[in-house]
Amino acid sequence: MNKSKLARDLGISRTMLYKLEAKGMPTNKGIEACITWREQSLLFTHTKQWRIDGNKGVKRESA
């Protein structure tokens, strides 16, 4: 699977995908394996949904 598409499907940047791959995420086994690995390996507080400032990671348009 293309890494850009996998990152998009997971809702993360390509940079984050490469960081997680270096930590052991199985990017060659499909999205289900990646989701399972993330649920088992990452702290849920280290996700976009738990940001203190409320930033959900959406790019904002400049004025």
Residue range 16-42, pLDDT digits in tens: 999 999 999 999 999 999 999 988 888
User: Which residue in 6, 12, 5, 4 sits closest to 57, CA to CA?
Assistant: 12
The count of domains in the chain is: 1
Specify if 35 maps to a domain: yes
Specify if 55 maps to a domain: no
pLDDT at 54: 61
Specify if 30 maps to a domain: yes
Specify if 21 maps to a domain: yes
Q: How confident is the model at residue 47 (pLDDT cuts 50, 70, 90)?
A: low
Domain range for residue 20? 3-50
Average pLDDT across the chain, whole number: 83
Specify if 34 maps to a domain: yes
CA–CA distance, 10 with 37 (Å, rounded to integer): 12
Specify if 59 maps to a domain: no
Specify if 13 maps to a domain: yes
Q: How confident is the model at residue 63 (pLDDT cuts 50, 70, 90)?
A: low
